[in-house]
């Protein structure tokens, strides 16, 4: 069992459209893409126009297609749109998405719930209590990561928001079974492991995007949730949603992950990001009412 309510408990598409919906989406490699992740395979003359949505150290870093940006602005004006990211608050703050600023945002994989850009203290207390009760402390996991990693392929070791740890690695040099072995060790201590690009995340199991998004749904009275994501850290969010989408790239696609209510897109890279926003908008705005 994956923990989802039975299908017949979910509202019908007609009911979803009749009441307020919440749209929650991962950002990196789901809605926004760095240059190496764009996945543009067509001739240069046919490539889509891109909008830069993040600058880092005075250089453009992340992009959407201009079409996706226009659709996202329309979506954000039509419903509650919640960015749900593993990024820290500081890293999230570099992103400037089109449309009105989101009232709510989920950072640090659910560790922080931002309300009008400020961390919600009640949510922080809730998260701290769950972590203390259900999993090994961060220091223990971080120490194991550092001991187990090989300097030959370890580039950086970081802690995010004093909540979880991650490594930046030379992925071609990473031993085939290292992540699987780490995942087994972490699972016994209430933690989960995810490999995304060059980063290996170790995250406490109670620290989830779905829990934070459920809190937003509770506060807004949302009738249902639409969601998207590309990594194993997004699986809980997709399972908790009424409808979901995943791109044709990423951890979920590579592992063949699926769920009956989650659409596995064929599109990869920035084209998938555009298709996801289009799907969100189609789920929120009744046919014939799109702008």
**pLDDT at res. 93:** 97
**pLDDT at residue 87 greater than cutoff 70:** yes
232-271: pLDDT as tens digits:
999 999 999 999 999 999 999 999 999 999 999 999 999 9
- Per-residue pLDDT band for 285 (boundaries 50, 70, 90) equals confident
pTM of the predicted protein model: 0.88
- Segment 103-122 mean pLDDT: 97
Mean pLDDT, rounded, of the chain = 92
Task: List, in order of start, the domains of the chain with CATH numbers.
Answer: 21-129+206-284 (3.40.50.1000), 135-204 (3.90.1070)
Strand order in the sheet with 154-160: 154-160, 164-169, 199-204, 191-196
CA distances for 33 relative to 65, 127, 240, 271, angstroms: 9, 29, 25, 10
pLDDT beyond 80 at 14: no
Give the whole-number percent of the chain exceeding pLDDT 90: 88
Report which DSSP code applies to 44. Answer: G
pLDDT tens profile 158-182: 999 999 999 999 999 999 999 999 9
Q: Where do runs of H (alpha helix) occur along the chain?
A: 13-18, 66-78, 89-92, 121-134, 138-148, 178-187, 209-220, 235-240, 251-255, 270-284
pLDDT at 80 over 50: yes
């Amino acid at each position: 069992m994956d923990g989802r309510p039975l299908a017949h408990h979910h509202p019908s598409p007609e009911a979803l459209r009749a009441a307020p919906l919440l749209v929650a989406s991962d950002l990196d490699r789901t809605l926004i893409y760095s240059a190496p992740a764009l996945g543009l395979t067509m001739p240069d003359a046919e490539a889509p126009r891109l909008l830069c949505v993040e600058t880092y150290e005075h250089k453009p870093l992340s992009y959407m297609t201009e079409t996706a940006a226009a659709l996202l602005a329309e979506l954000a004006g039509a419903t509650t749109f919640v960015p749900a990211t593993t990024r820290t608050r500081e890293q999230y703050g570099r992103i400037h998405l089109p449309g009105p600023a989101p009232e709510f945002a989920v950072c640090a994989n659910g560790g922080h719930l931002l309300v009008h850009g400020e961390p919600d203290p009640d949510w922080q207390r809730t998260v701290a209590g769950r972590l203390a009760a259900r999993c090994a402390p961060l220091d223990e996991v971080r120490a194991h990561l550092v001991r187990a990693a090989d300097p030959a392929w370890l580039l950086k070791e970081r802690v995010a928001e004093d909540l979880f740890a991650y490594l930046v690695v030379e992925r071609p040099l990473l031993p085939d079974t290292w992540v699987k072995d780490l995942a087994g060790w972490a699972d016994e201590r209430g933690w989960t492991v995810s490999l995304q690009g060059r980063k290996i995340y170790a995250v406490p199991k109670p620290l989830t995007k779905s829990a934070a998004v459920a809190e937003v749904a509770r506060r807004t009275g949302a009738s249902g949730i639409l969601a998207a994501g590309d990594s194993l850290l997004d699986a809980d969010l997709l399972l908790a949603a009424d409808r979901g989408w995943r791109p044709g790239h990423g951890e979920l696609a590579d592992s063949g992950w699926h769920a009956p209510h989650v659409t596995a897109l064929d599109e990869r890279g920035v084209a998938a990001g555009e298709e996801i926003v289009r799907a969100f908008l189609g789920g929120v705005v009744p046919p014939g009412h799109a702008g």
